[in-house]
Amino acid sequence: MSPTWNWDWPHLAVIQDELRRITFGDNNRLMIFMPPRHGKSEQTTVRYPVYRLELEPELRVIIGAYNQLLANKFSRKARKIAFERLRLAPDRTATDDWETTERRRIQGPSASVQA
């Protein structure tokens, strides 16, 4: 966890509970509506995918955002966290497509990945 974030704020606890429900299959859809700068992207788009990769080796993750630049920024931040917690594969390190040595993969949006 980041020392500059207070992860105990009530609104973040609600998100954590909902992500826990997603993780364990109690829910399969989640939409989060909060003002900017409240931690929703940091928690759900940056940190949660790395956590899920730790739990599920076969999981493939796509990090998305409203534009390519932001998606790449989130992917870089997630990769930095993953670097501390997982072993990253040296042969796949692009911002928008990287994976661990166990072939756990995170992919950002690109021309070949369209929603």
Q: pLDDT tens digits, residue range 48-73?
A: 999 998 898 778 888 888 888 898 89
Burial 86-111 (b: 16+ CB within 10 A, else e): beeeeeeeeebebbbeeebbbbbbee
3-state secondary structure of 54: helix
Q: Mean pLDDT of all residues in the chain?
A: 83
Q: Look up residue 27 and give its two tokens.
A: 């829910």
pTM of the model: 0.81
Q: Look up residue 104 and give its two tokens.
A: 């756990």
pLDDT of 16 reads 93
